[in-house]
Amino acid sequence: MWCPEDTYGRQQPVHPLQKLTLDYHSRGAMTSYPHILFNKDPEQLRRQGARGGRIFGRNHRARRALMSPPPPAPPRAEPRETTVAAIATLDSQFPWLRSAEKRLRKLSQ
């Protein structure tokens, strides 16, 4: 188990967050409730999980109700070019490549 002092009596450097955690535990603010999860049958654990899910959902819906709705998306300035129109433009510019995207069947030898 981790201890802020090693076996030689020297004080090891402790991170500030570890100090806060140690102070929090030493005050007895963190209470242990092992009976909540242990010594329960699967049905009791399932019911407990369902209660937690319902509580989470209720809180989530309450938070979403307090949020302002997102602003509407701005309309597009101009419609995009479709794939068919792009292929037609390329076919008119390069007639020797017309239908190059279509595969040819190989003749069996």
Highest mean pLDDT range out of 33-37, 42-46, 57-61, 104-108?
A: 57-61
Tokens of residue 4, six digits: 């802020």
For tokens 């654990």, what's the residue? Answer: 45
Asked whether the predicted pLDDT for residue 94 surpasses 80, the reply is yes
Average pLDDT, integer, range 86-105: 82
Entry pTM:
0.33
Q: So what's the pLDDT on residue 65?
A: 92
Handedness of CA 40, 42, 43, 48 (dihedral sign): positive
